[in-house]
Amino acid sequence: LEGVRPDAADLVGLRRAAARVLLGNWTGSSTVPSRTLYPHQWSWDSAFVALGLRHLSPRRAQRELESLLGAQWDDGRLPHIVFDAATPEGAYFPGPDFWRAGPFPGVRTSGIVQPPVHAFAVWEVFRADPAEAERRGFLARAYPRLAAWHRYLRTRRDLGGHGLAAIVHPWESGMDNSPCWDGPLARVDPVPPSRFRRRDLDHAAPGDRPTDLDYGRYVRLAAHYRDHGYDDASAPHAFAVEDPAFNALLALSELALARIAAAVGADPAPHRRRADEVVAALLDRLWDASSGLFLCRDLRGGGLIREHGVTGLVPLAVPGLPVAADLLRTACGARFGLGRVHMVPSYDLTGPAFDPARYWRGPSWFNIGRLVHLGLLEHGAAERAAALRRSMLRAAARSRFAEYVDPLTGEGHGATGFAWTAATVLDLIA
Ligand code: 2M8
């Protein structure tokens, strides 16, 4: 794939290679993000994977989402990892013995969540083959589960009391070691590295990954939540943050849920209203006019976090967003360099903590590129969207479907054969 020109016949080869990645990562009921680094099912990965899989097999894309929805807890939460029963405990840390969680015997999961992009994915997967979906009762079965998932986020997770869902662990953002979390995490007493064994470093370069200090804090927070029975009312939540991407995806998904509701004969109006409410709360609580970006809010006393992460650009994907023009300007400005760097960096190129290789502290990610691409199309920036698409296809081809790429050089980092990278390619080519 070296030297692929994504606007030529190479696309046929690229599509075939992307399909091979997804077939290779399929376990029989879902897709692992990576055979080496992440050998289980991840929540938001599955949603992005399904968006790509629908172009290969709408039925398989439906099953991908159904296996995640099948691990839903009684309180409505969708766990961020569903552990593969056949994969040994030592393959990933923290594994099922650490989390000690699950919706019922036989299904082991983590106890935290990830960004709610699922209803959006369910609707798009439905649209790929409505007849097959109808035959399998896909929407009718998914709707009550998605509604319960959103209800959990709107109620038990509204820790700030202003209509936004809070995340209680950096892993819940999906942007694990973003500099946005440095401030709130500084208050968390880290577990010493001698008390746990990281498995990620068996498969990835230490310079591409979070540090041991980060991990010590991740472990402390997760163990604390676990020891309070994952009960949001009684857990003290030393880390509690309102994250723009998480809530923008909730708004986008509420809009999709309104369509799903209408298709199954339920009332779409409450979902539309909730989408409006989340957007209003985003604007009220997280919009920062001076930087033209949404910021994160630290609910444990820090106020708005003055770090400029790509999470603040993701609301561009929400239709009708009143500040879309400002966000577009910020995307094209010095901080994110849209059109001048590879894809969209995960953190401010001019920020003091910018690191082009270290995970969510600068590298460009394909799922985020996909959301920004959606936003550019949504808000009439078709040429910029086309350029971003070319940049993503080129980066995926050159890096052998890397997990993330250096925004300055396009060089791949992390795992190769990464599922949502391949899925995004399929989705962009289709
Ligand atoms: C990364 O997160 C996991 C923990 O959930 C890890 O580092 O072990 C993140 O990139 C996250 O966004 C992603 O969902 C997950 C699996 O691809 O990996």
Asked if residue 218 has its Cβ within 6 Å of ligand 1, the reply is no
Residue 47 · residue 38 · CB < 8 Å? no
Given this model, what pLDDT does residue 157 score?
A: 98
The tally of CA atoms less than 13 A away on the side-chain side of residue 135 is 7
Measured from the Cα of 38, ligand 1's closest atom is 16
CATH class of 10-429: mainly alpha
pLDDT of 302: 78
Q: Locate the domains of the chain by residue range.
A: 10-429
Is any atom of ligand 1 closer than 6 Å to the C-beta of 45?
yes
Q: Given this model, what pLDDT does residue 19 score?
A: 98
What does 20-76 look like in DSSP terms, one character per residue? HHHHHTB-SSSB-SBTTTB-SEEHHHHHHHHHHHTTT-HHHHHHHHHHHHTT--TTS
Cα 390 to Cα 34, 77, 180, 278, 376: the distances in Å are 24, 36, 29, 32, 14
Look at residue 314 in the predicted model and tell me its pLDDT.
98
Asked casually if ipTM beats, i.e. exceeds, 0.95, the reply is yes
77 and 101 Cβ atoms separated by less than 8 Å? no
Closest CA to 310 of 407, 399, 204: 407
Query: Cβ-count burial of 332 within 10 angstroms (0-12 exposed, 13-18 middle, 19+ buried)?
Result: middle
Answer yes or no: is the C-beta of 420 below 6 A from any ligand 1 atom.
no
* pLDDT at 41 (0 to 100): 98
404: which DSSP letter? Answer: E
Give the closest residue (by CA) to ligand 1 atom 4: 171
What's the pLDDT at 357?
A: 97
Other C-beta atoms closer than 10 Å to the C-beta of 191 total 18
The number of C-alpha atoms within 13 Å of 170 and in the hemisphere containing its C-beta is 24
Is the minimum distance from the CB of 215 to ligand 1 under 6 angstroms? Answer: no
**Cβ atoms < 10 Å from Cβ of 204:** 17
| C-alpha 282 to ligand 1 mean position (Å) | 25
The Å distance, Cα 371 to ligand 1 centre, comes to 17
pLDDT of amino acid 6? 58
| Cβ proximity of 300 and 187 under 8 Å | yes
pLDDT tens digits, the chain, 430 residues: what are they? 445 555 556 899 999 999 999 999 999 999 999 999 999 999 999 999 999 999 999 999 999 999 999 999 999 999 999 999 999 999 999 999 999 999 999 999 999 999 999 999 999 999 999 999 999 999 999 999 999 999 999 999 999 999 999 999 999 999 999 999 999 999 999 999 999 999 999 999 999 999 999 999 999 999 999 999 999 999 999 999 999 999 999 999 999 999 999 999 999 999 999 999 999 999 999 999 999 999 999 999 879 999 999 999 999 999 999 999 999 999 999 999 999 999 999 999 999 999 999 999 999 999 999 999 999 999 999 999 999 999 999 999 999 999 999 999 999 999 999 999 999 999 999 9
CA distance 397 to 18: 9
The DSSP symbol for 345 reads B
